[in-house]
Chain A
Amino acid sequence: MTVNSKHLILALVVLASSVALAAPQNQPPTTQENKGHAAAHTVQQHEDEGTRIFQANCSRCHNTPEGFSPRISGTIVRHMRVRASLSKHDEQELLRFLNP
């Protein structure tokens, strides 16, 4: 095998690795099997709304805390309501998002 061939193979491996590493982040969220179902659709809407509110108000300042007890999800939301000046609607959607 010539030096050029080795370089070509190495370049392909690096390129393939980069694509493989980058690909999962671009995947859309997993579609629910019962997508057509009205109830599931409502849940999805709430999740989307909760995600939007979380990203717009919480993630702007700090990283998402990993793994907290559901027993304090209500307290977190009430604390965030004051810190981030959330409306009542946003508070409820955020609570639903943190505690589906």
Chain B
Amino acid sequence: MPRLLLNFRLSSLARLTRFFALALAVLSTASYGIAQDTPLLSGGVGFFTSTNAGQTTYTPEIEPLLAAPVGPHFLVESRAILLESFAPNGNDQPGYDHSHFISLIYLQGDYTLSSHITIVGGSYLIPFNTYNERLSPIWIGNFSGGPIIASLGAEGTGTGTGGMLSGSAISRRKYSISYNAYFSGLVNNQYFQAQRSAGGRTSLFLPDHGLEVGVSYNRQLQGTQENFYGAHVWWEPKNSGFQLRSEFARGHHAQGYWIETAYRTQAFGGFDSIIGRLEPVFRMNQTFRRDTVASDGVPLVNTQRADFGLDYNLPHNTRILTSYSRQFSSAGNFNIWQTGVVYRFLFPAWKGK
């Protein structure tokens, strides 16, 4: 499963369930000023298959998300992942082997200091480029697998534990500039594993053109103190149904890029027609080694991968994802077939006032 967070060690379902139950119980005792601020439970539940170089895995998965305002300025939010992975036994043995994976993805508190500054504390998604923070939830990504360079600049786990300042520096009708600046400490706890690092991201968005460009920086402050540089360009012309998303990342030992396009047509009855719900997607990945030191999750040899996908956006927040990929490298060429169906849920955590 090509996801950043699968590098975590397994933890127990019971502990996570208890944590969420405790969090809900504590938050339920807080008073909420207006009824619109009832805590919410959201997330995605899905079933995925992946056939990678002939090996097939079946993965039911759920990613719950909790967001709970506490007072007018404070918000607690968290996302977790629970999955079970099944794969046929090898060596002509009958039956299936299975393993499970459960972890918190992030747990952070957001304090709105002013109209342009939010202070984030806790375990947060590292804002390096865009994939980790925006596209990694299973109900958002156009492919069920991530791009090859997803781990560059995201420090393996994709999360930092410490503090972050973020917000909108300037917001005008014609343009806006957003920023993030963070510091993460070294944490070896299995739930909030993080490396000592600092970095940030800034983006310029032009709404009339649907264009966003941004740059990211991350510096590891432990072990080999590496720098990571990133840049992203998103172009999504208004009401066109077309998306272009791309990222470039350069680390001390490897660099690479991905560029993804998607399109939904309005020509046959709009986006909600039978044809309009179809979404062909394409993503090109390319990575280049600068040396053979393995520290960043990128393949040890130069690699190219083309992903061809066809998604279907069903009513009621459900998506079907299918894709075929062909990966090329000196280590061998192979095919990857992936399918998935994802339902996104969103409802109040309990009955509000």
Binding site for B on A (CB under 8 A): 18, 21-22, 24-25, 52, 55-56, 60-63, 65-66, 68-76, 78-79, 81-90, 95, 99
Within the complex, what minimum Cβ distance (angstroms) separates A83 from chain B?
Answer: 8
A85 contacts which of B140, B167, B348 (Cβ < 8 Å)?
A: B167
Binding site for A on B (CB under 8 A): 34-40, 67-69, 75, 77, 110, 112, 114-116, 118, 120, 133-135, 137, 139-140, 166-168, 171, 176, 178-180, 205, 207, 210, 212, 234, 236, 238, 266-271, 273, 313, 315-317, 319, 344, 346-348, 352
Assess A25 versus B269: contact at CB under 8 Å? Given A72-B347, A82-B110: yes
Contact B69 A75 (CB under 8 A): yes
Assess A75 versus B40: contact at CB under 8 Å? Given A82-B166, A87-B115: yes
**Cα(A65)–Cα(B234), bound, Å:** 22
**Cα(A85)–Cα(B317), bound, Å:** 24
**Cα(A74)–Cα(B205), bound, Å:** 24
Contact B140 A62 (CB under 8 A): yes
4 additional contacts, CB 8 Å, given A63-B344, A75-B37? A25-B270, A60-B210, A61-B135, A75-B75
Assess A22 versus B37: contact at CB under 8 Å? Given A60-B234, A63-B317: no
| Smallest Cβ-Cβ distance to A61: which chain B residue | B134
Contact B207 A56 (CB under 8 A): yes
- B-side contacts of A79, CB under 8 Å: 40, 67, 75, 77
Interface of A is mostly: helix
**Cα(A85)–Cα(B168), bound, Å:** 5
- B-side contacts of A62, CB under 8 Å: 137, 139-140
Contact B120 A82 (CB under 8 A): yes
A66 contacts which of B34, B271, B317 (Cβ < 8 Å)?
A: B317
Assess A75 versus B116: contact at CB under 8 Å? Given A21-B268, A85-B178, A86-B168: no
Within the complex, what minimum Cβ distance (angstroms) separates B352 from chain A?
Answer: 4
- A-side contacts of B210, CB under 8 Å: 60
Contact B120 A87 (CB under 8 A): no
Within the complex, what minimum Cβ distance (angstroms) separates A77 from chain B?
Answer: 8
Within the complex, what minimum Cβ distance (angstroms) separates A25 from chain B?
Answer: 4
Between B69, B118, B168, the greatest number of chain A beta carbons within 10 A of the residue's beta carbon is seen for B168
Contact B36 A90 (CB under 8 A): no
- B-side contacts of A55, CB under 8 Å: 238
| Smallest Cβ-Cβ distance to B77: which chain A residue | A79
Assess A65 versus B75: contact at CB under 8 Å? Given A22-B269, A72-B347, A75-B68: no
- A-side contacts of B135, CB under 8 Å: 61
Contact B69 A63 (CB under 8 A): no
The 12 sampled A-B contact pairs (Cβ below 8 Å) are: A21-B268, A52-B207, A56-B205, A60-B236, A75-B40, A78-B37, A78-B75, A78-B110, A82-B120, A85-B166, A88-B115, A90-B171
- A-side contacts of B315, CB under 8 Å: 66
**Cα(A84)–Cα(B133), bound, Å:** 10
Assess A18 versus B268: contact at CB under 8 Å? Given A65-B317, A99-B36: yes
- A-side contacts of B112, CB under 8 Å: 81
A70 contacts which of B36, B176, B269 (Cβ < 8 Å)?
A: B36
| Smallest Cβ-Cβ distance to A98: which chain B residue | B36
- B-side contacts of A76, CB under 8 Å: 40, 67, 346
**Cα(A72)–Cα(B348), bound, Å:** 6
